[in-house]
Each structure stands twice: as structure tokens, then as C-alpha cells.
Amino acid sequence: MPYKNIYRFIILSLCFLPLANSYARIKLITLPVREHVEIQLENKHTTIIEEERIVPLKKGNNNIDFSWHNSSIRPDTIIFRVLNDESGLKTNILSVSYPPNESALTWKVSANQNGSARVRISYAINRLNKKYHYIARANQDESKMQLVQYIKVDNQSGEAFNEARMNTGSEHSVTLPMEIDETQQFINHNYTDVPIEKTYTVNAVQFGYQDRTQDTLNVLMHYQIHNDKAHNMGTQSLVAGKYRIYQQDKEGTAVFVGEDWGEYTAIDDKTDLFIGQARDIVVKRVIERKKHRLINGNLYNLDVLLSYEIENFKNKPVTLIIEEFLPYLNNETLSAISENGLEWEIGSDTTLSGKPIKQRTNSETVAYQIKLPARTEATKKIKLIKKLHINFKNQW
């Protein structure tokens, strides 16, 4: 690092002055250079710098100045540690003094002999931020993908770091120079052969209608990413960030198919990436029946039958998930939401096969999964009619 830069920004210096005048700001100083710099990017909000320098100490008391003009160090986080004692050099940190109107401090350190001490200074720094983003490249049949995690480190902190090791919490780290106002981007993880689970989902409330007059629902496509060993991942939590998704076409060219914000995904957890709307799967949702069955006085049950007309124009089988948000359905049918908890059960007229999906069903939502077979040349398309019968009970 050129000396000019050192003077401008963070300076660690040793003052040889009588200690009685320790607050006089005229000094003769030596400038120990940084031996090693580590940028800790693990914490979501706070970046920590750890730098090591070799500081010559004389027997007796020494003043070590640390100043950070024009850089955004958080002074209350500064930690000073002397690392090695191999040579028999023993040190005591006696005090820290903060001069007025300066971004600086002075450690008063006593040493038992003349020698060089390796010191580590750690501090939090503002405006040295990181962002995660991902590139997913799916193969042509969307069975597998490559997922690359990038980290972009933007240095607006006012300080340059020559050859800094970026520590992101993963087992490996990269060493890069970080100049002022510079942005560095590097690959943190590269996962290959990640099996894809693609889902198609309809939900009249959450995803809405494609055409309300025709009762056709939006069919949303998701890639489900399982951050576990079974899916060739699971080495580190996936930090939230933007996922850009590409798919290979017949010529082997990557075509951009969509992007989404991915949530924080811990090891063994999963996340859904929305990749767009399907056009070759058409779902029509109609309320076929709504019947008010009086029990007594103002107490009644409400009988609702939903009908789904599902068409698959694709040449391959797909899995469709149908979700119903029941408070809305109750409201849709009777225009009043009960103040009490919604009591419901699945009625006998339901033709959706199997049980509701456990992970997606609760007191307000019911979800079913349907396997749609591929269309054939003979049939041209696959059309299914499925019914969902919900009985809302004990309402008033």
C-alpha cells in the first residue's frame, strides 16, 4: 500500500514521546504495515475487519496510535489483542485515550523487553456491505440444475484493504484486494447436479385469476430448492438474495426464464423460487354449490362445492397443487367473516384423491396435489374435473 494512502486513512503508529505529555499531538512515529487483513462477512448487519500488524515495542511504556480519518469505523467496537508471546515478550495494555475532535485513539502498552509484537485489531466498519445473488442454470428437461452463489462486496467505507481474506462462514475463503469505492464479486459456492422439483400451484386468493370472467386461475411455477445432502447441497445456509434462473434450450444456449427473491434457507430446509406463470396448464375454478343449512335460530352450517376443470397441454406429466384459502371462500360465499375460528371439514362430494397435503394444510388453508398425465397425440390434451366439498360448521 502506498504511504499516501496510509496517511489518508487508517494509521497504526508508535509514538516515542515522554509519557507525561501523552496528549501533545506532535509526535515521531513509526508506521507498522498490515500483515494480514480479514473481512468477516458472516453477520447479516455488521462487517468486522481483523487486521494484524507487527509492532516494535521498547521495554517500558509505549504509546500506540490508531487513527481512522475518513473511514467509517465504529470506535466502540475496537478490540486490541497482542497475539504472540513466543519470544518471551510480555505486554500489558494500560489504557486507551481518546483525543478530542479526532478519529483516533492511543493505547498505552507496557512491555517487559524490547521486541516485536504481533497485534490483532478488530473493529466493525460501516458501509462495507455484501449482497448475495444466485445464478441457477437448469438443463433442458428441468430435471437438474447448477446453482452458483455469488457474493458482491461493496466497499464505501473509505478504507482500502490490500489483499483481504473474505470470510463468509463457509469452509473456504478467497483473498482479494478491496480498494476504496470498489466492488468485488466472487463465487462463494458452486453446486452442480442439483435435482429440481418443479411445482405448479393455483391459489385464488394468493395468486389470483388469469381471467376472472372465464374463471381461469393463474398457474404459478416454482422450483423447489432443497438445501440438503440428498440434493447435492447442504454445506451452508443459503442467505437471502436474488435468484436469476436460466434454462438450456436445444442448441445448448442458456435462456433467461425468470428471477425471484429467495429467502434465507438453512441447511436441510427448502425454499420455493417463483419462475413464472404456466400457459400450458389451464385451471378453471367455479363455485358450484353453496347451501345454507339451518341448525337453529341464528346457527347454521354452510355447504360449499368447488369444481376445478384442469387441462394439461404439455407433453409430460406434471404435478399440480390446488390451494384454497378458506376464510376467503367463506366470505366469497356469504359475504361475512365469522369472528370465531373457522370450523370446517371436507365433505363427501370431494373427488380430489388422497388426503390434503399436511405441510400446506391448516385451519385456514387446504391443499391437494394432483398428478396430471401427459397429453398424447390422440387426446391432444388432458382434461380432468375435480371437486372439493367444504362444510363450514357452526356459524352464526
Least distance (Å) from other proteins to the CB of residue 99? 6
Least distance (Å) from other proteins to the CB of residue 327? 11
Residues with Cβ within 8 Å of 111's Cβ and at least 6 positions away in sequence, in order, are 57, 58, 59, 60, 62, 89, 90, 91, 117
Site of grid cell 485489531: 121
Torsion angle, alpha carbons of 227, 228, 234, 237, to 10: 40
Least distance (Å) from other proteins to the CB of residue 103? 13
How far does Cα 84 stand from its chain's mean position? Answer: 38
Contact criterion met (CB below 8 Å) for 231 and 202: no
Least distance (Å) from other proteins to the CB of residue 396? 5
How far is residue 100's CA from residue 102's CA, in Å, rounded to a whole number? 6
Q: Which residues bind other proteins (CB under 8 A)?
A: 20, 22-23, 38, 40, 42-44, 46-48, 50, 59-61, 76-77, 79, 90, 92-101, 110-112, 122, 124, 167, 169, 171, 173, 237, 264, 266-269, 295-299, 340-343, 345-346, 355-356, 358, 361-364, 366, 393-394, 396
Nearer to other proteins, 7 or 261 (CB): 261
Least distance (Å) from other proteins to the CB of residue 194? 19
Query: In the structure grid, which three cell numbers stand for residue 131, read together?
Result: 449482497
Query: In the structure grid, which three cell numbers stand for residue 20, read together?
Result: 507525561
Query: In the structure grid, which three cell numbers stand for residue 54, read together?
Result: 507487527
Task: Name which of 151, 87, 74 is nearest 116 in CA terms.
Answer: 87
Beta bridge partners of 385: 309
Least distance (Å) from other proteins to the CB of residue 264? 5
Least distance (Å) from other proteins to the CB of residue 341? 3
Nearer to other proteins, 254 or 295 (CB): 295
Contact criterion met (CB below 8 Å) for 326 and 348: no
Query: In the structure grid, which three cell numbers stand for residue 81, read together?
Result: 489483542
Query: In the structure grid, which three cell numbers stand for residue 87, read together?
Result: 519470544
Nearer to other proteins, 2 or 88 (CB): 88
Least distance (Å) from other proteins to the CB of residue 126? 12
Task: Name which of 131, 139, 280 is nearest 219 in CA terms.
Answer: 280
Nearer to other proteins, 20 or 378 (CB): 20
Nearer to other proteins, 279 or 355 (CB): 355
Nearer to other proteins, 60 or 177 (CB): 60
Contact criterion met (CB below 8 Å) for 289 and 329: no
Nearer to other proteins, 16 or 396 (CB): 396
Contact criterion met (CB below 8 Å) for 382 and 311: yes
Least distance (Å) from other proteins to the CB of residue 120? 8
How far does Cα 189 stand from its chain's mean position? Answer: 14
End-to-end CA gap in the chain = 77
Residues with Cβ within 8 Å of 162's Cβ and at least 6 positions away in sequence, in order, are 1, 34, 37, 177
Least distance (Å) from other proteins to the CB of residue 122? 5
Nearer to other proteins, 7 or 98 (CB): 98
Beta bridge partners of 174: 166
Nearer to other proteins, 294 or 378 (CB): 294
Nearer to other proteins, 69 or 108 (CB): 108
Q: Amino acid identity of 21?
A: N
- Residue 265 is given by DSSP the state B
